[in-house]
Amino acid sequence: MKDYLSLLFMKFRNDIYEYYGKESRSFPWRSTSDPYRILISEIMLQQTQTFRVMGKYERFLEAFPDFSALAQADLASVLTFWQGLGYNRRALNLKKTAEIVMRDFGGRLPDSPEELTTLPGIGHATAGAILAFAFNHPVVFIETNIRRVFIHCFFQDRQDITDREILPLVEGTLDRNNPRQWYYALMDYGAMLAKSV
């Protein structure tokens, strides 16, 4: 059974990477591993489609290029640059996070899930994404597109799949050598599946 699972997971990884090699999407936050820039993108991408984030991400970073600039900015200015993304609480959380990072972490975003999830607006999935994309840590997390991929590939004949059922598969298929690229590949495959429904 273990050998069968290993082969199944290897084929799954190969299929996802094959698709990614041909159809990977390009976003400005994928060309950096800077923790601040990854944090900004991940908070912006919460409940917001990528095409809306694309128009705001670079302008926000020009106005607030690092934790220090964001922590010192007045909230009205932050909200002005956030306008159009909705859910303004996320902008407030980002500013509070910048203040905490400057005050408690010497201006550096922590790289542990325990510390990240103490920051405003950062739950398990966002912390996992930050750890994978900024620090290339082999963490296990689920978000919408990742969930879609695993349901499509492993639970085609079932409804009402729980994250508890999916998590062991995410862990078993994880590319521990390059989690950053692996999660980008999963997300792109999931985005493709969403369009094909």
Express each pLDDT in 93-125 by its tens digit: 999 999 999 999 999 999 999 999 999 999 999
Instruction: Give this prediction's pTM.
Output: 0.93
Task: Kindly state the average pLDDT of the residues 12-32.
Answer: 96
Tell me: pLDDT of 48 over 70: yes
Indicate if 42 belongs to the active site: yes
Distance CA 100, CA 88 (A): 19
Per cent of the chain over pLDDT 90 is: 88
Task: Kindly state the average pLDDT of the residues 169-193.
Answer: 97
Question: Mean pLDDT, the chain, as a whole number?
Answer: 95
Classified as helix, coil or strand, 85 is coil
Tell me: pLDDT of 197 over 70: no
Residue of 42, 62, 99, 143 marked active site = 42
Tell me: pLDDT of 1 over 80: no
Number of other residues whose CB lies within 10 A of the CB of residue 114: 8
Tell me: pLDDT of 74 over 70: yes
Phi, psi of 143 (to 5 degrees): -135, 180
Tell me: pLDDT of 194 over 70: yes
